[in-house]
Amino acid sequence: MVLVIGVGNEYREDDGVGVWVARRLAAHGLRAVERSGEGAGLIDAWSGAARVIVVDAATAGAAPGTLHRFDATRTVLPRGVFRCSSHDFGVAEGIETARVLGRLPPALELYAIEGARFGHGTEMTPAVAAAAGRLVDDLLSVTEGWR
């Protein structure tokens, strides 16, 4: 069974995209959890899962709504793409720590949607919301046999 981890803060505009995607996928029967993005918490969240999809906001300098995809079991994640927690130990750092400790799940895909605004508020920018909707549709079609 697949586990979706939606990362972010729904009260920080585009930073809530991961949480939004996780909620939509859960409504379609996928197992999904929400996390703030603190790296150690991610390792605990996916413990025992065979296939994990992490969705987060990105800040890589691309156009808002750009989707970045990484196979974290095969590739070291680039620094500076993901928003860090307040302690600078976020998604990328958690994944790389899990790699060193041998605690990566057998399959780990990371989807990051480039954000534009990270201020206070619950509305995502139109480009981010559109990209999130497309990602939900794509993941539902791919995960059909994983439920």
What pLDDT does residue 88 have?
60
Q: Report DSSP state, residue 62.
A: S
Pick from 41, 24, 141: nearest CA to 91: 41
Output the pLDDT for position 80. Answer: 61
3-state secondary structure of 12: strand
- Dist CA 67 CA 63 (whole Å): 9
Angstrom distance (rounded) from CA 123 to CA 1? 31
Go through the domains of the chain in sequence order and give each one's CATH number: 2-146 (3.40.50.1450)
In the prediction, which pLDDT does 112 show? 94
Q: How far apart are CA 59 and CA 131, in angstroms?
A: 15
- What is the predicted pLDDT for the residue at 65? 97
The structure tokens listed for 90 are 């976020």
pLDDT of amino acid 87: 43
pLDDT by position in tens, the chain (length 147): 789 999 999 999 999 999 999 999 999 999 999 998 777 788 889 999 999 999 999 988 999 999 999 998 888 876 666 655 444 677 888 888 898 999 999 999 999 999 999 999 999 999 999 999 999 999 999 877 665
Report the pLDDT value the prediction gives residue 79, as an integer from 0 to 100: 66
pLDDT of residue 82: 63
Please tell me the predicted confidence (pLDDT) of residue 54. 95
